[in-house]
Chains A and B, each alone.
Chain A
Amino acid sequence: MATTTTANHAEKAEIFCRDEARVDWHSKALWLLRQKRDRAASSLPEWEELRELGSEYKLHTLSHLGEYLEQFEANCIKQGIQVHWAKDGAEHNRIVHEILAKHQVKKLVKSKSMLTEECHLNPYLEQHGIEVIDTDLGERIIQLNKQPPSHIVVPAIHLKKEEVGELFHEKIGTEKGASDPTYLTRAARQHLREHFLSADAAMTGVNMAIADQGAIVVCTNEGNADMGGNLPSLTLHSMGIDKMVPNMEAASVLLRTLARNAIGQPITTYSSFYHGPKPGGEMHVIIVDNGRTKALKDKLLAESLKCIRCGGCINTCPVYRRSGGYSYNYFIPGPIGIAVGAQEDNTNTTAWACTLCGSCTYVCPTKVPLDKIIAYQRRLKAEQGTLPYGKDRYMPIVGKVMGSATLFNCAMSVARFSLRNLPNAMLKPFSGAWGKYRELPKAPKTSFEAWYNKNRSE
């Protein structure tokens, strides 16, 4: 499912960075989420214990995943829930369409699901004549704007309120020039309520699937999953195999960290447990692999499946905040996007859209070792012979120089001499992309080693 694209991460980031004021705003808006997250986390003395439990529950589940999936299915069937299995996105879409076609569904209301984004469900259903309405406000904004999400939790974070106002004026008839968020949100409430009331079926993603209950948990702040899920008699829920948790105790751990880490709320406004169809209705759960079992064959990549999609790593990432969600060549941006999507990026550059600062790993509520996985994705690219242009030539040389004390010392003394004596214009081209927005450093007279031997060797 590789996306065909030619622009690499740096080129796409450069487009985003043209509007400096917007980049500053974007970075600050996301940092605000990080600060809210810090306040929420520090208000619980057991926060670190919860992260450890989250990680352990996920590792336990992933190492017994087959058993739990079967237990989950059996319990669902007992409750009258119909369960389907899809090995990839194409099969998932076919199953969804078959169910909808059987019920002659013309209009489907959907609440946020990154999995259906991953499977490209919307265009598939539209080709088959089904109207798909995304109902999360941010998702609806970008659907009307014909854009993919730029963030997994706040999908329209790249847009300013004036742009949303203009879009709503054109598409849903709000007043021209109106950009007040409350006004626009109320207008969207009215607009979407009509769709909720006239939909033939509803679809949601899944935050957790509880094996020993045969229940799924869906978390939203807006109530859109429940407005959809509780009106039409037909409801569908799509989940990756990684959404499984063994029991209610595991769910209680993740429900305590999910919203706190995402946006600093103690819990989402609604945490709904769907445990069977409504009276006279039908409930379907579609369990999707789409590459997850393959990731589980690799010790490090497997840990990316501990992720609960809170988006905390994206909010804290210094590269994401300044390059935007559309620079990653994958539908999930930021650290987790690189961890699970670097192999889909055919420009082979997003694995380098990271400073390896480790902030993502530090905030992750299930301790996904994101920085280690990203470094490992670079190694995989090297082993596959798909290093980005240039790196394949100079990296082996850098490796040789840095592997030999003599060569390294010699190179450093040439660098110090050049930086002190040669004109800037002559040296700048050698600094590559690094030097594009930076001044070259002032070089000291001697190496640190020489200084140390002279001053501290006693």
Chain B
Amino acid sequence: MSSKSAILAALDSVAIAKHEMPKVAIAPRLDDLVGQFDASLKAVGGSLVKDNAIEALQQQVAALVAEGNQVISQVAEVSGNRETPEDPHALRDINYAVIQGELAVAENGSVWVTEQGAGIRIAPFICENLYLVVKADTIVANMHEALKLINLQDTGYGVFISGPSKTADIEQALVIGAHGACTLTVYLV
């Protein structure tokens, strides 16, 4: 018997009585979604730009490029100085990545990014600094609402990103900047 058949056969009878599928019936907190998102993002170490965000981002990126930084951009209105490569290793020297997020979650400050939005899966992780662009009207209250809207059939990879990478593995001291991006700014458009 294959291991699969053995495992499935062993699962034919389990000691737990059949339980019905539950249903989430939690009312989302809808007051001031932008304010909630802003507060959550700050709490996880990120920052938010919401006034004239796209112009601010364009100026910021132009200045970074002028300073000689390596910038990759997947956002149409913003031009970086690097192309999306086929080999993810080629992005090892990227200083800034500009990526389009699909939706944002008020309760935890996270932004949903897919491989289409990122251009290549490694982009939001390998860069030193991450700029996420997301539309203000895509902010939802909580994870129940977010996962209702996401259709995984459209993508092979997606990630909720909530702030810059961090660790507290040495004596519980919080350090921002573990393996992923060391800073995260969300531009709300």
Contact = CB atoms under 8 A, between A and B. Distances in A.
Interface of A: 29, 32-33, 46, 49-50, 53, 56-57, 59-60, 62-66, 69-70, 79, 85-87, 91, 135-138, 141, 154-157, 159-161, 164, 181-182, 184-186, 189, 192-193, 196-197, 210, 213, 215, 221-224, 226-227, 229-231, 241, 246, 248-249, 251-253, 255-256, 263, 265-279, 287, 289, 293-294, 296-299, 302-303
B117 to A, nearest CB: 13
Contacts of B12: 66
Contacts of B107: 256, 266
B101 interface: no
Nearest to A135: B179
A248 B148 contact: yes
B24 interface: yes
Nearest to B20: A60
B146 interface: yes
A65 B173 contact: no
13 contacts: A57-B22, A161-B171, A161-B173, A182-B173, A222-B180, A223-B165, A223-B181, A252-B143, A253-B24, A256-B143, A266-B108, A269-B180, A274-B157
B147 to A, nearest CB: 4
Nearest to B114: A273
A137 B152 CA distance: 30
Contact of B44 (A69, A91, A265, A271): A265
Given A248-B147, A253-B144, A256-B144, 13 more contacts: A85-B7, A138-B169, A181-B171, A182-B173, A189-B178, A221-B165, A222-B179, A223-B179, A224-B179, A269-B161, A269-B165, A275-B152, A302-B15
Contacts of B105: 267
A252 to B, nearest CB: 4
B167 interface: yes
Nearest to A70: B8
Interface stretch (B47-55, B59-67, B70-78, B121-129): B121-129
A271 B158 CA distance: 9
Given A185-B175, A302-B15, A85 B4 contact: yes
Interface of B: 2-4, 6-8, 10-24, 26, 40, 43-44, 86, 88-89, 92, 105, 107-110, 115, 121-122, 125-126, 142-144, 146-148, 150, 152-153, 155-173, 175, 177-181
A271 to B, nearest CB: 4
Contacts of B163: 269
Contacts of B179: 135, 189, 192-193, 196, 222-224, 227
Nearest to B160: A271
Nearest to A192: B179
Contact of A141 (B7, B10, B43, B169): B169
Given A29-B172, A60-B19, A223 B24 contact: no
Contacts of A241: 7, 11
Given A70-B8, A185-B178, A226-B159, A269 B166 contact: yes
A221 B160 contact: no
A248 B147 CA distance: 6
B26 A270 contact: no
Contacts of A136: 169
Contacts of A33: 172
Nearest to B27: A46
Nearest to B43: A266
5 nearest A-B pairs in the assembled complex, by CB-CB distance: A223-B180, A276-B156, A222-B178, A138-B169, A266-B108
B8 A249 contact: no
Contacts of B11: 65-66, 69, 241, 293, 296
Most central of B2, B6, B152 by chain A CB within 10 Å: B152
A289 B167 contact: no
Most central of A46, A159, A273 by chain B CB within 10 Å: A273
A267 B110 contact: yes
